[in-house]
Structure 1
């Protein structure tokens, strides 16, 4: 049985190693162009193909999967509007948000650099550049050196790596071609090997003492960066260097502490720094962060090792770091440093080694797994790594006889990320009502109120009472402001708007909570309460609201008939998004102000249903019944359009509605308006025609009366 288990484990490991290859894609904004850097293994064939308003980057890796999650975090321009990959191994597709073109070159054999710049496309870029023709050196007649002078000579130039010179020269020539400084005849884009000729190797222990320069070097400040500006990351800390497993031995904690404290201070109160370091490590190993920091304070010195202990102690006490983080950017390391880097940074990095973190977590002692397990699970949940979060919580459950409030709260976070709101709410209620919960209870209540707001639910009377009591009890603690904001949001969910807004006016840094409370006010409050709180909202609070909230306020004010306030809330200077929605509100405010021509200008050619309705109303206010009817026909409001055609005395209707009420009214009216044809030379026939016309008129009048009575 064990043999089969080992075989299955080996198969799963092999399958995991045969998975998709992750290729990182980084980005940056420069003056005049946007740059993407794609990291590929040496020797990878690649090609850039231009498409309509975009480009495709192909790499010769069948299992390549581009990691583009952080591309738009550093982009401020709209040159790149979308980037995607359909399946692993497919091309990286880029869509441009401007009239741009893309060029690409290879840097250091491992980085494909794609530059996106406005303008017309330049000639395609390739690495097939003809070698430059160097002038022949002038012949100088000089005496030959003697035998003693020839012995110490070293001629490394013949053995130096030719690829170094080719890469530097290609980079400079391509940079000049991109800026129209030089003209190159380059071959078409196509797959090619990214690794050049490596047959000429540099001799061992030979320093490169030759630099290639050109006239373009003097223009570096004007041309911008010629190579990607990559951030240098710190070196990894190995598990052996950190040595966390050796911070304690097999003895009981009191026995180890007693031994170290006994010889801590020697003669004349001289501190044994080695014992103080061991004591700090021991405290940190057993989860006593404050005691570890106090032991380090006795030493009075700061070293990389003490910084690492202080960072771990801050994680264990759930407090912010003081000073720089010694584990910064180390989540990529395949050592125990990865898990402490994630815990100190509070979020998962793009290059994080999740499996390494889980293995390090499994080697932690039971008490630390119970302590840091919920924190690590929350970090995984925030990064949408739900399966990793479940594995961490299952590992915590295996060593707990009774679920702790922290683990239960972490499970609620996983359930919420999965979309199981009912389970998440049940777990949070368990934490709030637990007698063993400390600060987890108010934090769980804050999460529960936030979840109620996201679902547009309501807060119960018991939750309001708990929020009020926590606000008073924890007013001087670190989470005091959080509980005040939670209480204010709970009051708004309970429709206690006056009390909620009065409380928010006294809470600093409550812009987000105020925004949420205003959204609830706009959606649920009666007209009197809504108008009173919105019109009396202080100017700084009004300007701190988001664009979405301001638009919702303007929409309700417009529905109530307030033109000026509608224009104010839809025309704030800081609002730059949802332009179409704000333009519709401008048009609606113009109609409310009796300015239909301005409303038509605001609407422009907007084809939405709401714009059609407003455009018809504007034409109706102007008196252009025929234009209003034609607009309503596009909106499929045929009966209303027939009514307007009838009011405009229009005879040639584009789409006559036979069965519609106003279509019948229009036809009856047109029939009554038709002139009577007289036959004066035939009195008898003339009298018969008059009688028939009179009968038809009576029928049309009866039909009109019947249509009127139908209302």
Structure 2
């Protein structure tokens, strides 16, 4: 029975058809072209056929493919694409055209087939593009990959393949223009570059820069195809990956890596022609909510949010989000904006985040701190830091601040003051707090916390520490952060943390361990324990939070090791620096690792010191690392290796180590000269004595130099000289001097009674 069942199952498995593969078709309008994207399985062959002027056929080479066309037309108008339908056999789709259009197709990320459709005339000679696996294999076998290090000269010099452009960016149709009235043929020939080609190249580069966020565009409409002086140039070959040369494929692969980089700090983006400020009419936040937003405006707008057939009214969405933002309800504003994904108001979305304490992560106000209107205010308060050359229009910022409602000034004022102080404007920061104090008639915890930040940034540590301790000792939203900063300030000044703060840090780190502030509070608690000498407790918890961000764990490791090395007794230092060396590797900063290695060398432990010098992130070519490495080699009686580590280094530290290495190798003359240069008289005399050259030790008379001179004194030989009173007197005097020199040498080298 079981054997029969297995046989049936085996037959079913071998005869069942391959599972169907779903291919979703998505689309969207992109200015002068329409894009369709097909999510296809990996390694699927495809072809595109435009043998007819009113349709484009896209076929896939897989089996049992099912197309999902539910979203194929949701975002399209009928300017270029009228419809999308399946071809017979479930192996492709037909795109019905509503214009004289051409198609360009390519693969993106190996799993997305992109078809771009724009106006143009299809070329019958290149109307079919085949991207089957067999053809790709043939092309790979018959083509040679260009060298990435080849040097190109001429009009577009460079190294490696030419830039083929980003496949996901739109290609620009060249415009054939008539004669230019202000340009002669001689001028065109003198430039060496066809003006039409230059315009084409410039347009593509500007599009790439705009897509990467490097510039803001102010688009003007292009000339229409029906204008008398312009006509569309025939696109003779649709762009596809199958028609690219190997050189273009290599260039596209390189650019894909470059284009995939993270944008980084949005505040440092370059804007050609200067910064474009967000218009003042789009930032009139005081008029967004009306006289009483909570009682009148917001309830009225909520009732009109959904119109006929439960469709969102986009104007109401914008109005309601603005009303919420005007009273500081940023989370509610963003929730309303999220209801309609098609709503495009980047400035409103950015402000809704800023009023809730977030930064302008999208860079809507990047580079606008020097604007004359409200954009300067939102650019500063929404930034984390600014580039060094960024200008700050204090007048515009303070004017915008004064124009806000009292509620918004109370909410944003302390943060604005802190940002001004962080950018080097402490007087303006204190001015903001003074204005806010006069307007509200009090100083709340947010204002006190901001004042502490200003004092700390201006090196008024005592005042900052006093304010932070006062805020941390009572409950409030700023208490945990004030506690953490007070502990950080104490550890920076190498002071002990008072017992109240230390206990609070333990309570906060436990109570809020799963919150956003948990990692920072955990770090503060470890700092407090280490600053107070509780090394077993702090290092015992250092590896207890592997799920915390690596940056926080690295900061904790660095701070704890620094405090341990600088303050702990030898026993505690050795216990915690040697117990989990491998665990510190990759987390400790280079500076803290070198600090630990230096103290280990001071204690005569070169082998573990060399392990710390091998930590991840340490640049072994830096002078301070090479000096420590030389010390380790000398401690292990490896003077030759120490000399190698010191090659090219100058300065007294390097000379001292080089002298010790030469002394160990027997070059006492060099060692004596080096010690003399360093002013180390004792080592210089010892090296000179060993070298047998008393004059190298500085020339001063002492027991060692006198002993060396005994070797150089000549005594008359009685066998070769006739006896005389002069010879006898010389021999007697030399004997007395020798006895005195030996007696002085013995006295100088006598061990103490202890």
1:366 aligns with 2:406: yes
Note if 1:468 corresponds to 2:506. yes
**Do the aligned residues in 2 keep the contact of 1:656 with 1:663 (CA within 8 Å)?**
no
* Contact 2:351/2:378 (<8 A) preserved: yes
Q: Deviations over 1:163-191 (max 9, x none)?
A: 9969955999xx9xxxxxxxxxxxxxxxx
Write the distance in 2 (CA, Å) between the matches of 1:170 and 1:409. Answer: 62
CA contact (8 A) 1:288 1:313 kept: yes
Q: Distance in 1 between matches of 2:589 and 2:311?
A: 60
Give per-residue Cα distances to partners, 1:644-694, cap 9 Å, x unaligned.
Answer: 22233325x246432556445544x447x6424549545444444444334
Map of 1:334-413 to 2, 5 A cutoff? 334-348=372-386, 350-355=389-394, 356-413=396-453
What SS does structure 2 have at the residue aligned with 1:589?
Answer: helix
1:208 and 1:382 map into 2 onto residues whose CA distance is 55
Displacement of 1:320 after TM fit? 6.4
Residues 257-307 of structure 1: per-residue CA shift (max 9 Å, x gap): 55556766789988776555434322221122233334445x5354233x4
CA distance in 2: counterparts of 1:162 and 1:400, whole angstroms = 72
Residue in structure 2 matched with residue 304 of structure 1 by the alignment: 344
- Determine if the alignment matches structure 1 residue 544 to structure 2 residue 587: yes
Distance in 2, Cα, partners of 1:380 & 1:163: 56
Please, what is the CA RMSD of the aligned residues?
Answer: 4.2
Q: Residues 513 and 656 from structure 1, CA distance in 2 versus in 1: closer, same or farther, beyond 3 angstroms?
A: closer
Q: Give the one of 656, 667, 671 matched to 1:628.
A: 671
| Structure 1 residue 657 corresponds to structure 2 residue 699 | yes
**Contact residue 337 and residue 343 of structure 2 kept, 8 A:** no
Q: CA deviation at 1:442?
A: 0.8
In the TM superposition, what whole-angstrom CA distance separates every residue of 1:178-229 from its partner, at most 9, and x where no partner exists?
A: xxxxxxxxxxxxxxxxxxxxxxxxxxx99999x9xxxxxx99999x99xxx9
Q: 2:613 aligns with which of 560, 570, 581?
A: 570
Q: Give 1:194's aligned residue.
A: none
Aligned partner of 1:38 in structure 2 is none
Aligned to 1:696: 737
- Structure 1 pair 116/351, CA: closer, same or farther in 2 (3 Å)? farther
Q: 2:561 — aligned with what?
A: 518
Instruction: Quickly say closer, same or farther: Cα 1:683–1:523, change in 2 above 3 A.
Output: same
Counterpart-to-counterpart distance in 2, 1:334 and 1:166: 45
Offset, 1:479 = 0.8
Does structure 2 retain, via aligned residues, the 8 Å contact 1:432–1:444? yes
Give how far 1:623 is off: 3.5
Cα separation, 1, equivalents of 2:292 and 2:374? 23
Cα pair 1:625 1:644 within 8 Å, conserved: yes
Change in CA separation of 1:206 and 1:451 when aligned onto 2, cut-off 3 Å: farther
SS of residue in 2 equivalent to 1:604: coil
Structure-to-structure mapping, 1:526-541, within 5 angstroms:
526-537=569-580, 539-541=582-584
How far apart, in 2, do the equivalents of 1:537 and 1:581 lie? 24
1:179 maps to: none
| 8 A contact 1:639–1:657 mirrored in 2 | no
Q: 1:281 aligns with which of 318, 322, 327?
A: 322
The answer for unaligned runs of 5 or more in structure 2 is 1-156, 160-176, 199-226, 234-244, 256-268
Q: Does 1:596 align with 2:634?
A: no
How many pairs align? 512
Partner of 1:137: none
Residues 165 and 303 of structure 1, relative CA distance in 2, 3 Å threshold = farther
Q: 2: distance between equivalents of 1:290 and 1:273?
A: 18
Does residue 579 of the first structure (1) align with residue 622 of the second (2)? yes
Query: TM-score scaled by structure 2?
Result: 0.59
What secondary structure, in the 3-state scheme, does the structure 2 residue paired with 1:415 have?
helix
Where 1:543 maps in the other structure, the secondary structure is coil
Structure 2 Cα separation of the partners of residues 243 and 206 of structure 1: 44
Structure-1-length-normalised TM-score: 0.63
Aligned-residue offset at 1:483? 0.9
The separation in 2 between residues aligned to 1:525 and 1:620, in whole angstroms, is 34
Counterpart pick for 2:283 among 223, 242, 251: 242
Report the CA distance between 1:468 and its aligned residue. Answer: 0.7
How much does 1:534 deviate? 2.3
Whether the 8 Å CA contact 1:625–1:647 is kept in 2: the answer is yes
The DSSP-based 3-state class of the residue aligned with 1:533 is helix
Residues 504, 514 of structure 1: 8 Å contact kept: yes
Q: How big is the shift at 1:535? A: 2.3
Alpha-carbon separation, structure 2, partners of 1:703 and 1:304: 95
Segments of 5+ residues of structure 1 without an aligned counterpart are: 1-114, 118-153, 176-204, 212-217
Give the SS at the match of 1:283.
helix
Change (3 A) 1:501 1:703: closer
